[in-house]
Amino acid sequence: MFSAKLNEKNLATAVSQSLEDEVQGRSLWQAAWLRFKKNRAAMTSVYVLGFIVLCLVFGPMLSQFGHDEIDWAVLMDPYELGRPSIASGHYFGTDDLGQDLFARTMVGGRLSILVGFMGAVVAVIIGCLWGSISGFVGGTLDNVMMRIVEVLDSIPFMFMVILFVTLFGNNIYLIFIVIGMVSWLGIARVVRGVTFSLKNREFIEAAHSIGVSHWKIVLRHIIPNVLGIVMVYASLMVPGFIMFESFLSFLGLGVQPPDTSWGVLISSGAKTLDVAIWQLAFPSLFLVTTLFCFNFIGDGLRDALDPKDR
Amino acid sequence: MVAIPTLLVIALISFWLMHIAPGGPFDMERPMPEIVRANIEAKFFLNEPFFVQFYIYISNFVQGDLGPSFVYQDFTVTQLVAQAWPVSAVLGALSFAIAVPSGMLLGTIAALNRNTKIDYILMSLSMTGVVIPAFVLAPILVTIFSIHLGWLPAGGWEGGKISYLILPVASIAIASVASIARVMRGAMIETLNQPYIRTARAKGLSTAYILARHAMRPSLIPIIAMLGPSFVSVITGSVIIDIFFGTGGMGQHFVSGALNRDYGLVMGITLIVATLTILFNLIVDLLYALVDPRIRL
């Protein structure tokens, strides 16, 4: 009896809630945002990442040294005088050349994150266009375009990128456009699949019937509908690119001095880890935390935007 | 079936990149006499048209001749690769052999104990494993085990003695273990929610039996899909590890080739890795059919 009453009450609240919903209306994005907000790991990551970005933007202003400025006083004995200390102004210590590690970590981080985003943006643009055109037009064109994706997919692209770097020198932005250009394949596949299922829906038909051009249908009606899933993909790509940039820089193939990045700092820190552990610790800490955040945010977005889970 | 054309495309692209790259192997500060130059170019077929050169390179490649190294004057690329190959093969195979089963095991344990402390601990460990790159992990491991504890050597190869293998293999394998464990957990949870697993439970079968007989096979499909990427990550990892530990594998030649602009060496290794990757993808496709008979090749 009691439980029946309880159910009635629940039902009542549910009905009133759904009425409210009808009044208010919740778009797909609002619903996703509500789900995302409930994910504590993802929300924490957003705040931590925000903090890191603030550090990267404003941090260098707090430093008493430029990122490529040599502190000659420290240069005599960087392993003793270059220890992290508030007093000397080198909050994170210095590297072997007496350059301030705090400033270098901040400036290097800008490049690392920027490069991650650039790669993702390029990959998203190409992947969306390729996939939606392939899925929308269908037929022979679709076949050809997807065969191309298949062939490109079995190319070990890390080696291709290094070959590219070898041949054309290491302008880091160029490298990342290249990486973005070879890593849009997954996105293209997903977008094509979704486009295929969207193509025959009523609203597309309606657009056709009032004479909207094909181009415009793809851009205005197909792509907004695949953006959710693409965002999930892209958010998981950014950490991959950041890691790849660090990897290239670690090998000495990425950023060149006086520019710096987390990969460069880690690479030089790894050589002196037995005498100057801070040279490895601070850049690694920032890199790993950033990667953590991006991964959690990506997972959170997937849970929030993936219709399968509802 | 796409394998061979794909390989040709890769070879063509990299050969073309090499061709249009600025600077040639015989460009020196003091130009050599025209006749000498013409002779040398003729010896290496550099005076031939592009596609003829490509054809010569490919037919040599098929016969196992990767051409000369531009920097290591006394060696051919084939000799360099032949020296480095065993090291890379041992490191790669060991890491892979360790990473796949232990990743699957950890993922299964996490799935069985879903939303308990064990699950949370395992999953946060695996997230850590995913985000810590090999080039951060390797120095950390060396600091702990070589410098502070002094248990293991910090680098070198010494003919592949076990103590020299542990740290490099661990640094390569941990990332793969972590990502495989995450995927395995997801797949296993999905399988365990299936009605036929409930039926098996209702029949009173033991958990171990259900896992081995009913749940393992369907959960393997995402893992097989992971094998390709994790093969690539093992290769990538081994490049870092070759540099950091000085093990003398292919990665070392690859990077020094890239830094020295030794086009012949870099291209040779790119082609070998491409061949391996494509072969591996082929094996993965065959495995799919083996695990899931519904998939037709």
pLDDT digits (tens, 9 = 90+) for A111-166: 888 888 888 888 888 888 888 888 888 788 888 888 888 777 766 666 677 777 76
Query: Which residue of A lies nearest to B190 if distances are taken between CA atoms?
Result: A309
- Nearest one of A292, A268, A294, A293 to A281, comparing CA atoms: A268
Q: Which residues of B51-60 are buried (b: 16+ CB within 10 A; e: fewer)?
A: eebbeebbee
| pLDDT band (50, 70, 90) for residue A1 | very low
Q: How far apart are CA B28 and CA A77, in angstroms?
A: 41
Q: Are B37 and B26 spatial neighbours (Cβ–Cβ below 8 Å)?
A: yes
| pLDDT band (50, 70, 90) for residue B137 | confident
CB of A285 within 8 Å of a chain B CB? The answer is no
Indicate whether this complex's ipTM tops 0.90: no
* Nearest chain B CA: its distance from A23 CA (Å): 36
| Predicted confidence (pLDDT) per residue in A65-121, tens digit | 666 666 666 666 666 666 666 666 666 767 766 677 777 878 788 888 888 888 888
Phi first, then psi, for residue B245 (nearest 5°) are -95, -5
End-to-end CA distance of chain A: give it in Å, rounded. 31
Task: Report how many Cβ contacts below 8 Å link chain A to chain B.
Answer: 115
Give the mutation candidate from A162, A167, A277 for the B interface (greatest B CB count, under 10 A).
A167
Query: Which residue of B lies nearest to A264 if distances are taken between CA atoms?
Result: B135
**Block residue for tokens 């301030």:** A100
Query: A262 CB contacts (<8 Å, ≥6 apart)?
Result: A105, A108, A109, A112, A242, A246, A249, A283, A284, A286, A287
Q: Which of A8-22, A283-297, B117-131 has the lowest mean pLDDT?
A: A8-22
Most confident range (mean pLDDT) of A19-23, A280-284, B70-74 is: A280-284
Look at A113 and B31; give whichever has higher pLDDT. Answer: A113
Which among B138, B266, B273 is the nearest to A156, CB-wise?
A: B273
Q: Are A132 and A124 spatial neighbours (Cβ–Cβ below 8 Å)?
A: no
Q: Does the beta-carbon distance from B270 to A159 stay under 8 Å?
A: yes
pLDDT for B74: 73
